[in-house]
Structure 1
Amino acid sequence: MTDATDPTTEPTPRSARRLAAAIEDGEVTPAAAVDAAYDRIAATNDAINAFVQLREEEAREEAAAATEAVETGDPLGRLHGVPIALKDLDSFIEGLPCTYGSAVFEDAVPETTSVIVRRLQDAGAIVVGSTNSPEFGHLGDTSNPLFGTTGNPFDPTRTAGGSSGGSAAAVAAGTVPIALGSDAAGSIRIPASACGVYGLKPTTGLVPEASRPDALVSAAPFMSLGGLTRTVGDSALLLDVIAGMHPRDPISVSDEGADYVAATRRPIDDLSVAYSPDLGVFETEPEVTETVDDFADVLRSGGATVDRVDPDFDVSLATMRGAEITLFESTLASMAESIRRRQGIDLLGDHREELTPTFADRLENGYAHDAVAFKQADVVRTTVYDGLQDVLDEYDLLLTPTLACPPFEAGTMGPETIDGQPIDPYIDWLLTWPMNLSGHPAASVPAGLSESGLPIGAQLVGSRFDEETILAASAAAERRNPWAETYPDVEAIGR
């Protein structure tokens, strides 16, 4: 006999949309949903190390109040009683430590709640905890000296990606249906691909951040807040809740008239897609190319026209890479300088030995970049933008792999070679960061599994503020090639 109020009785955990509907109908209580989330965290976290902070007392109190609201017939939000997770970097809630993955900030506790978390709370969501991130989000693998390494639920010895690796692993493990992330070089899409979940990087400004002391931190490179989910519909619902202008974010924009959930029901028989297996500049592993080739056929089976097209960037990969790294390192150094001036904490002084060595290196490089180099990177960004937009002027979407390889060994920066060719292990296995130079929205969609059973993602790129078309194509692919049954079960992860 199974308990109908227990959301763990299904073969796979419910999506946020299904769970919210079940809560509204009285089939599942918010208290049972939160209890089940903590049960799954307890069963999996020793193996994958996705969660680093829990707020059990507060979450259970909120779940009890949410259960009472259902019983008394109070108005319910769209995510009423749904457990969610934050990223231990740039989504935070009052009273729960937010460490940025740094031993220096082990005891830092925010006194406020970030904009998107407030919006999720207003919709009824319940924060159960926060997830692991590399120190200040500087790597594509989720490891740090404070909490260690996050493993991939498909194989805990393999990387979960980064920097939202804890969030992606939490979702893939079925602990929560939604976990928040952020993306400055692919940090939503990288772990989405590695863990076989769905991750959408919205156009910068669509989801407000209202960061301080630098309200313009998202502009260079283009950084976006978003989330990781198992289903496209859940990401659409998440975007419906968190998108829209905020008066304290000077680059935020209105999404008036957008209906992201409705977009997931659109047909794609009039859609045109440009398919570039390597963006014309990257090396990729053959099994990645083969898997994304098959994904292109899935879009064709839905009626879309898919043509083989490479963008013309008019600059080399090395020049593009240099621009992204200059901008990213400069932003990290500016953040460190703000911490020094406002809090008196000198990360490269008294605390250097506490930092991840690669993070310390990035800070030192950032301090060395001059203003001319920073602005010249914007010239390269313009060229990258034009190369991508030239394609998107002719096609609705651009399709590429998300990553050049399946997940590699956890705790390492990246592969030294791709298809036998030497690469920069920091960045050259990522086909994600050109969209952070340009600001185009992009999503990683589960495309299949490697020969060793590890996830491979396909990246869909759209014109600025055309998230609805990305969601429509993603949902069409999900209907024709569902990936829900590919996830390992909780017992398998915990063994």
Structure 2
Amino acid sequence: MTVTVASSAREQVAALRAREISARELMDLHLARIEARNPELNAVVSLDVERARAGAAAADERLASGATVGPLHGLPFAFKDTHAVAGWRTTYGSPLFADHVPDTDDLIVERIRAAGVVPIGKTNVPEFAAGSHTFNRVFGTTVNPHDPTRSAGGSSGGAACALAAGMVPLAEGSDMGGSLRNPASFCGVVGLRPSWGRVPEWPSSNMWETTSTGGPMARTADDAALLLSVLAGPDPRAPHALGDPGETFAPPLRPVPLAGLRVALSADLGGAFTVDRSVAAVVEAAGDALAGAGAAVSGTAPDLTGADECFRTLRAWHFQARFGMQLAVHPQEFKASLAANIRAGEALTGADVAVAYQRRTTLAQRMREFFTEHDVLVLPVSQVPPFPADQEFPATVDGVPMASYLDWMRSAYLITVTGCPAVSVPFGRTPDGLPVGVQLVARHGADRALLEIAAAVERLARPAA
């Protein structure tokens, strides 16, 4: 097998194990792609070519020694720049941390490194991962690999762009309001927000904060499952982590038969948000394709009343607790939209936060009941296709004004507060050729089943791709 940067991660791992390619050669392929595309796209930051090549050489030596190697051994990898990597510049997209070099790895980094990857650098993010468009004052803007005048999404925008452009075979990110799903849709890759508790987080300023989670990005659902097998599993430092071992996700996916699959489909969650017509058309096309494959498709949606208020309250509360003191000392070092979001948390009362958690409990119960009658929910990932990269966020959606950098992402963050797993799967394109993903949602804990449905949906999408 001839390995290229377009080969799947599973194919690259297999070729390395079979000695069909060395880690050095694989690294050179990816570094050449980074050299060719990154100057324009600005996806990979803090690149260290010398360390990357030294790491690849060490990976070859370890494999040649006969030592046990991890499931991702020898793959080039770039970590999201909001995740601390020991000894590697980690800026969080903020001028306050422009020269920051952590002493320890975040847990998600620790697990990926233990799986045998060869670090090459970081992937670009918005400031403190706030917002679904990737730009900051440290590194600038990441643009879309399919149209560099457009946004790559965010906050895992650098990760999705690098992945789609062939600079890395896998990527990791995090998702609060859509930060794995939105850039996956914009860049035409797969992004999974796992079930709450599936991917534990450490360190954390609040171990009971449950709106944000790490997760995998890949070019296929099968590769996403491979990376999830490394990320998932319990850890004593994260008491809310689900107990299923990561190895659950390691075997290759078997796409589920679509005949008889109970699909709920809605382009706007029953009027919960406005959606661009080109995005709605892709969701409707997915419904038609599923019905044509024998699925039982119904135009219905769960009742997510209260989800908007729940998400916004918990986000503002979390941001104020995490960044409030820094904002007070360095008010000029925060972008205006993030500063406003932090200050919104200052006015919250204990009763406000309690009501948000009560709403979240109600939403989880509604989703549990909803998924007794449906196997999967299909809806838009983002309410718009990739917008111009010189805008912070789209000013309107289908003619409706968007007042803030959050408004246009309701299609993602309303799902966040349910705790359910959700995956963005590439399915179509706008009339001018921009990628559009569909969002698939399943019951809490059903991450592997969801990825198997995603693999089946990928097969439906390929004839039209």
1:301, CA displacement in angstroms? 4.3
Alignment-derived partner of residue 330 in structure 1: 317
- Which residue does the alignment assign to 1:312? 303
Partner of 1:271: 261
Kindly state the Cα deviation for residue 425 of structure 1 after the two structures are TM-superposed. 4.3
Aligned partner (choices 399, 402, 426) of residue 420 of structure 1: 399
Verify the 8 A CA contact 1:263 1:468 in the aligned structure 2.
no
Per-residue Cα deviation, 1:284-331 (whole angstroms, up to 9, x for no partner):
122211111112233334443222112223x3xxx5333212211111
Is the Cα–Cα contact under 8 Å of residues 277 and 400 in structure 1 kept in the other structure?
yes
Aligned 1:328-477 pairs, distance under 5 A: 328-337=315-324, 340=325, 346-349=326-329, 351-430=330-409, 431-477=411-457
Q: Distance in 1 between matches of 2:315 and 2:395?
A: 21
TM-score between both structures, scaled by the size of structure 2: 0.94
* Helix, strand or coil at the partner of 1:54: coil
- Mapped partners of 2:243, 2:48: distance in 1: 32
For 2:277, the aligned partner's letter is P
Partner Cα distance (1:196, 1:135) in 2: 23
The Cα of 1:105 is off from its aligned counterpart by: 0.8
Q: Following TM superposition, by how much is the alpha carbon of 1:258 offset from its aligned partner in structure 2, in angstroms?
A: 6.5
Which residue of structure 1 lines up, in the alignment, with residue 56 of structure 2? Answer: 63
Does the Cα contact within 8 Å between 1:55 and 1:96 map onto a contact in 2? no
Out of 17, 37, 40, the residue aligned to residue 10 of structure 2 is 17
1:347 aligned counterpart, secondary structure: helix
Structure 2 residue aligned with 1:245 = 234
Corresponding letter in the other structure for 2:117 = A
Other structure's SS at 1:84 match:
strand
Question: Structure 1 length normalisation: TM-score?
Answer: 0.89
Q: In the TM superposition, what is the alpha-carbon distance from 1:154 to its structure 2 partner?
A: 0.7
Deviation at 1:48, TM superposition (A): 1.1
**1:480 corresponding residue in structure 2:** 460
Instruction: Please point out which of 249, 256, 266 is paired with 1:260.
Output: 249
Amino acid at match of 2:239: P
RMSD of aligned Cα (Å): 2.0
Give unmatched runs, 5+ long, in structure 2.
none
**Counterpart AA for 2:386:** P
Distance 1:359 1:451 in 2: 33
Partner of 1:273: helix, strand, or coil?
strand
1:39 Cα offset (Å): 1.5
Q: How does 1:15-164 map onto structure 2 within 5 Å? A: 15-89=8-82, 91-164=83-156
- 2:284 counterpart (293, 299, 304): 293
SS at match of 2:303: coil
Higher mean Cα deviation, 450-459 or 115-124? 115-124
SS at match of 1:28: coil
In the superposition, relative to structure 1, how do residues 358 and 13 fare at CA in structure 2: closer, same or farther (>3 Å)?
A: same
Q: Does the aligned pair in 2 maintain the 1:274–1:391 contact within 8 Å? A: no
Inter-CA distance 292–249: structure 2 relative to 1 (3 Å threshold): same
Cα deviation, residue 261, structure 1: 4.5
Compared CA separation, residues 387 and 215, structure 1 to 2 (3 A): closer
Q: Structure 1 residue 335: deviation in Å?
A: 0.9
Mapped to 2, the partners of 1:52 and 1:452 lie a distance apart of 29
The gaps in structure 1 that reach 5 residues or longer are 341-345, 487-495
User: How far does residue 93 in structure 1 lie from its aligned partner after superposition?
Assistant: 1.6
User: 457-466 or 279-288: which moved more?
Assistant: 279-288
